[in-house]
Amino acid sequence: MDDFWDEDEEFLQRSDGKYRKLVSCIVYWGNAEQFLLLHRKLRWHGYEFPKGGIKKGESLEEAARRELREEAGIEDIISIKDTGIEIKYKWPPEIVKHPGNKNKYDGAIQHFMLVKVPYKKAEVKSDEHDGLLWARANVVDEYLAFENLRQAFRKALKMIAEVKDNRPQ
- 24: in domain: yes
Measured CA to CA, the distance from residue 114 to residue 157 in angstroms comes to: 10
- 124: in domain: yes
Residues 121, 82 contacting (CB under 8 angstroms): no
Residue 147: pLDDT above 90?
yes
The confidence band for 5, taking pLDDT boundaries of 50, 70 and 90, is very low
Measured CA to CA, the distance from residue 38 to residue 41 in angstroms comes to: 10
DSSP conformation class of 4: G
Residue 29: pLDDT above 70?
yes
Residue 148: pLDDT above 90?
yes
Q: How many helices (H) and strands (E) does the chain have?
A: 4, 8
Average pLDDT over the chain, rounded to an integer:
87
Q: Provide the domain count of the chain.
A: 1
pLDDT at residue 2, rounded to an integer: 42
3-state secondary structure (DSSP) of residue 92 = coil
At 32-64, the pLDDT tens digits run 989 999 999 877 778 999 999 999 889 999 999
CATH, residue 14: 3.90.79.10
> 121: domain range?
6-164
